[in-house]
Amino acid sequence: MRILNKIKIIGRAVHPTMASKRNSLQSGSGEGMDNKNKDRKSVPTMYEIARLAGVSQSTVSRVLNGNVAVAPEKYAAVMEVVERLNYRPNIAAKGLAHGKTLTIGILARMLGSPFHGELLRGIEAGLHGSGYYPVIALGGDLANEDEAAIDMLMARQVDALIVLYSDQLSDTYLLEVAKELPLVIVGRQVPGLEQHCLCVNNRFGAYTATAYLISKGHTGIAHITGSLNAPDGAARREGYIQALIEHGLSVDPALIVEGDFGESSGVLGVNELLAVRSAHPFTAILVGNDQSAFGARLALYQRHIDVPNDISLIGFDDISGAQYMTPPLTTVRQPLYLMGMMAAKNVIAALAGEKAAMPDFPLELVIRQSVAIVGRPGSAASQRKKG
């Protein structure tokens, strides 16, 4: 993980003739500082709260921790003083008293992406009210960047870890991390840690999407994959191939272009496919994810190719922008928000010494307007197929 700490120092040198003025001002500065210190409110202590509320310090502690029942009148007396003094408990001190930091480390990447943003929103919702707060470290695509981020989180003594869609960390490394603290892995299966992994059936999702295109009359179907080094990218490619074979269609390697899940790879993928289209005709593209589908749609628009009448598009994920694409994108929905929420709830359960079953996360084909029916009157794809 690269952490850049830049400190910009702004100031100016004191002119020699100003020195005497500055010294004379300093002689009267003590009074000003004393006034500032008097104006600054001191942080109330539990002793002061107990004295003002007329209860013991242990009663104040029980009220603030909320883990032991307290008589209603004592609870009301303590809370009245707490609110009057605007008391804020020292979270760090509270955690250290229990041998915890009350933080959950999260390994993420590309915070600006809607995909990871939805996962993080779910994690935040899952942690809400638990007393634990997220600490996010960004991994990367280079070797050891994810390890460096995990090592940094563990050095900060986080109480548990959530790893989001990392293909850089080895199974062996994750097994070792799981021995140190509670761990949940999102988007990947690790042998030996199955009960700690949350993921969807990416192969089945891509199979379903491809089969849907075939059901609409498409026989020439191209595929812009995600990164094939990533488990989800490889699984979706396998599902695409399986659907073609099971429906009696040939697999044309020229119609499979590797991308990287980014918008730009969708643009590049379409340009590469169009360059071979005369020799390898197709009427639809299965794109590895929605972000790449947005890029693919842009590339088709720039070539004056109509979606869906000339070429149909189908994505994967159903991120927030998919329904606002022109036309709205047909895609495979995975419940990112729910996955993030359940990841958080599972680490909280683990920290409490409880076992939480990992639920199944069903995929859903969301049909919108980016897929045409081949054979429909007026369809350009249909005319090409006939011609």
50 versus 334: the higher-pLDDT residue is 334
Domain-located, residue 17: no
Domain count, the chain: 3
Range of the domain at 55: 45-89
Tell whether omega for the bond before 308 is within 30 degrees of 0, i.e. cis.
yes
Task: Tell whether 128 and 213 lie within a shared domain.
Answer: no
69 and 109 fall within a common domain: no
Look up the pTM and report it. 0.73
Q: Which pLDDT does position 21 carry in this prediction?
A: 44
* Residue 140: predicted pLDDT: 82
Q: What is the pLDDT of residues 209-220, one digit of tens each?
A: 999 999 999 999
257 within some domain = yes
Say whether pLDDT at 342 is over 60.
yes
Regarding predicted confidence, which is higher, 48 or 23? 48
Do residues 314 and 219 both lie within one domain? yes
Residue pair 162/348 in contact (Cβ under 8 Å)? The answer is no
Whether 245 and 379 share a structural domain: yes
Domain assignment present for residue 122? The answer is: yes
Q: Same domain for 316 and 247?
A: yes
Whether the per-residue pLDDT at 357 is higher than 90: the answer is no
125 token code pair: 């919702």
Residues 225 and 313 in one domain: yes
CATH number at residue 164: 3.40.50.2300
User: Is the sign of the CA dihedral 102, 1, 225, 183 positive or negative?
Assistant: negative
**Secondary structure (DSSP) of 126-176:** HHTTSS-EEEEEE--SSTTHHHHHHHHHHHTT-SEEEEES-SSS-HHHHHH
Mean pLDDT (the chain, rounded): 84
- Checking if the pLDDT of 205 tops 70, the result is yes
Same domain for 170 and 80, yes or no, is: no
Same domain flag for 189 and 207 = no
Closest by Cα among 330, 319, 288, 294 to 202: 288
Same domain, 254 and 156: no
pLDDT of the residue at 46? 73
Residues 306 and 206 in one domain: yes
